[in-house]
Structure 1
């Protein structure tokens, strides 16, 4: 049996494991280990697994994951996420569709500390969905705005998607974080535009909420400032060259924890549960990284990446047609697989092709994360849709998918703008000190 055939069987086995709901990291690790064993020998497989495990968990740059996860968990437990939503609600909640727009703005703000689409959707959804139900919002618009807004969690920095991409491609985490700012804000604006169009055409879907006075708006804004300050200190510090991403994560986690404890929003007895949640999430992400670093050498031994690259080159499609073909494949895969898993599995194959076509790797990181976001709300998997279903159990799954469809097209529009105007992603990283 040739190495290429073993590689194809390994990829098929990997997809089967993920369809069977085996944890992504364990599927990557098992298939990678078994594939190296078949192609080389057991000693090589054990050596690869042990060396890659050690190098992965001792990678200093990867420390950004537990620190930003801790930052998001503390902010959520302390109620800072509700303050962000309340501030957005105070300013735009009185408009038609304003509560849905507030949800998107709250998701965008919380995304700047959570780095997770699931955490963003759950945290803001628990606050926003009951409020929209109280004012008579259509179930599709309400749940769609939460599911779509939650996807901002892996585009607006800090982002676990960018961290994994950086680890897999050896690109700068800091530059990827900064590259996600303008596209993230653009996507949030497009989501709000979708809400405005829907509620203009069908006013009953998003009735106006209660109007708040200026004093109440001011109080809500001031109440949200602690977390806003943490966001600007950590992300701004990366942009200005004051902090590395790891240092920014440490500073942010320390500040938000000190504020939560100092103001009584958290008690010491709450910290063990937050720590357990942080460790569980970190362990899952670390296992994915370890699995990716074992699966990658297996793919290299099979020569599949080189074969695929030469095959695409032989088609003579040109750079942008090849890019569109790759993105179409991502969208199809996103219908069945978790976004981060898709990123880890495909990047060893896709990244050399992208570099060979002359595309900027930081720019492609943003493009890849947006495509992954699209997968988070694409049936039949649509992870964020299932997360929202867990928060709004009474809403049928079909209603949520229909509600999220207009936001999917907004993502496609954002993706098109990033492709047409690469400086939307590259301008801020180019200004970094």
Structure 2
């Protein structure tokens, strides 16, 4: 068989392994190892497995993953996430659908701590869903706003998606983090607009909350300020050049631990659980990175990216037509795969094509992450939908999927804006790094 044919067999085996519920990291390891063995012999495959397993996780850059995960886990264990939600509700709760908008704001704020879509959806879901249901919100709007808001955890820095993209494409983590800020705020605004439109058209879905006195609003905002300060110091430190992303992750984790100790809001048992959860999540992500680094050289040898690029060029669609085809491919894959799996499997294939078309790699990182976010709320997989279902067990999946539909449309609008105006993603990184 030709290298391209071997590559296609490898891709088929990869999907077959995942259908059989093999963890994606081990599926990539198996396909990469045996595929390289078939093309270049056992010696090359064994050398690849040994060298890549070490080099993939020994890089200094990857330290940001456990540090930011620890930051988010400690914040959750100490109850700081509740303060973010309460502060948001104090200021926007009096508007129609205000509690759902507060959930979106809370998700955006917590995303700047956790870097994880699932963690954001779980944490804010436990806080916001009982309140919205108590005040008479429709299940569709309540669950839809949390599921959609949770996707911001994959975009707003510190994003684990951006860290993996940077490793796979050898791009700057700092530039990617900064590129995610304005698109993240844009999606947050579009989600809030969506809540307002739904609650206006169907008033029974999102009744107004009580209007709090300004004194109470500022008190709740003050309660959330310490964690907001940690976010500003860690992410803002990257922006002004005081920290590298790795240093910022360490500073943020240290600050939130000191804050939890100073406020006596974290027991030793809770801290231990937060550390253990950080170790489990980090080990999973590190294993995925190892698998991707074994699989990617196999794809390079098969020359599938070149063949795919030549095939798309032959269609004569032009740069943006080809980009549309890639995005549609991501949308289809997003219906059946989780975000991290889709990212690490597809980027090595499509990234060379993106570079050949002359698109900015940082900009495409934002586009890819947003499309992957869309997959988190689309049927039949919709990871965030199932996460929210785990919090609200009595709400049917069909109701949650119906609730996220308007937010999915808002994400499409946001994606179109970012494709049409790349400066939305590139303004901050270009102003910082030149």
| TM tier relative to shorter chain | over 0.9
Aligned to 1:96: 96
1:198 aligns with 2:205: no
1:13 aligns with 2:5: no
Q: Contact 1:18–1:27 (CA<8 Å) still a contact in 2?
A: yes
- Separation (CA, whole Å) in 1 of partners of 2:180 and 2:218: 29
Deviation at 1:268, TM superposition (A): 2.5
**1:294-315 deviation line (CA, Å, top 9, x unaligned):** 0001111111111111111122
Deviation at 1:95, TM superposition (A): 1.3
- Separation (CA, whole Å) in 1 of partners of 2:19 and 2:269: 39
Aligned to 2:297: 297
Aligned to 2:105: 105
Aligned to 1:375: 375
**1:23-60 deviation line (CA, Å, top 9, x unaligned):** 11111111111111111212211110110011011110
- Separation (CA, whole Å) in 2 of partners of 1:132 and 1:398: 19
Aligned to 2:337: 337
Deviation at 1:21, TM superposition (A): 2.1
Q: Contact 1:261–1:268 (CA<8 Å) still a contact in 2?
A: no
Deviation at 1:272, TM superposition (A): 1.7
Cα RMSD after superposing both structures: 0.8
Aligned to 2:405: 405
- Separation (CA, whole Å) in 2 of partners of 1:374 and 1:22: 24
- Separation (CA, whole Å) in 2 of partners of 1:318 and 1:2: 29
Deviation at 1:359, TM superposition (A): 0.4
Q: Structure 2: which 5+ residue stretches go unaligned?
A: none
Aligned to 1:39: 39
Deviation at 1:267, TM superposition (A): 2.1
| Correspondence 1:184-195 to 2 at 5 A | 184-195=184-195
- Separation (CA, whole Å) in 1 of partners of 2:283 and 2:30: 17
- Separation (CA, whole Å) in 1 of partners of 2:302 and 2:163: 26
Deviation at 1:269, TM superposition (A): 3.0
- Separation (CA, whole Å) in 2 of partners of 1:14 and 1:154: 24
Partner SS for 2:432: coil
- Separation (CA, whole Å) in 2 of partners of 1:151 and 1:221: 24
- Separation (CA, whole Å) in 1 of partners of 2:294 and 2:404: 36
Deviation at 1:150, TM superposition (A): 0.1
Q: Contact 2:233–2:252 (CA<8 Å) still a contact in 1?
A: yes
Q: Contact 1:389–1:395 (CA<8 Å) still a contact in 2?
A: yes
Q: Contact 2:385–2:401 (CA<8 Å) still a contact in 1?
A: yes
Aligned to 1:147: 147
Deviation at 1:270, TM superposition (A): 2.3
Partner SS for 2:156: coil
Count residues with an aligned counterpart.
433
Q: Contact 2:77–2:271 (CA<8 Å) still a contact in 1?
A: no
Deviation at 1:418, TM superposition (A): 0.1
Aligned to 1:241: 241
- Separation (CA, whole Å) in 2 of partners of 1:270 and 1:412: 39
Aligned to 1:208: 208
- Separation (CA, whole Å) in 2 of partners of 1:4 and 1:57: 29
- Separation (CA, whole Å) in 2 of partners of 1:281 and 1:168: 19
| Correspondence 1:302-317 to 2 at 5 A | 302-317=302-317
- Separation (CA, whole Å) in 1 of partners of 2:22 and 2:123: 26
Aligned to 2:166: 166
Aligned to 1:66: 66
- Separation (CA, whole Å) in 2 of partners of 1:269 and 1:346: 40
**Structure 1 residue ranges, 4+ long, deviating more than 3 angstroms after superposition:** none
**1:71-112 deviation line (CA, Å, top 9, x unaligned):** 000011111100000000111112110000000000000000
- Separation (CA, whole Å) in 1 of partners of 2:261 and 2:38: 54
- Separation (CA, whole Å) in 1 of partners of 2:270 and 2:163: 28
Aligned to 1:2: 2
- Separation (CA, whole Å) in 1 of partners of 2:326 and 2:363: 15
- Separation (CA, whole Å) in 1 of partners of 2:23 and 2:143: 27
**1:120-163 deviation line (CA, Å, top 9, x unaligned):** 00000000000000011000000000000000001010000000
- Separation (CA, whole Å) in 2 of partners of 1:383 and 1:164: 19
Aligned to 2:429: 429
**1:271-305 deviation line (CA, Å, top 9, x unaligned):** 22111100000011011111000000111111111
Aligned to 1:29: 29
Q: Structure 1: which 5+ residue stretches go unaligned?
A: none
**1:347-384 deviation line (CA, Å, top 9, x unaligned):** 11100100110100000000000000000001000000
Partner SS for 1:431: helix
- Separation (CA, whole Å) in 1 of partners of 2:195 and 2:19: 34
Q: TM-score, normalised by structure 1?
A: 0.99
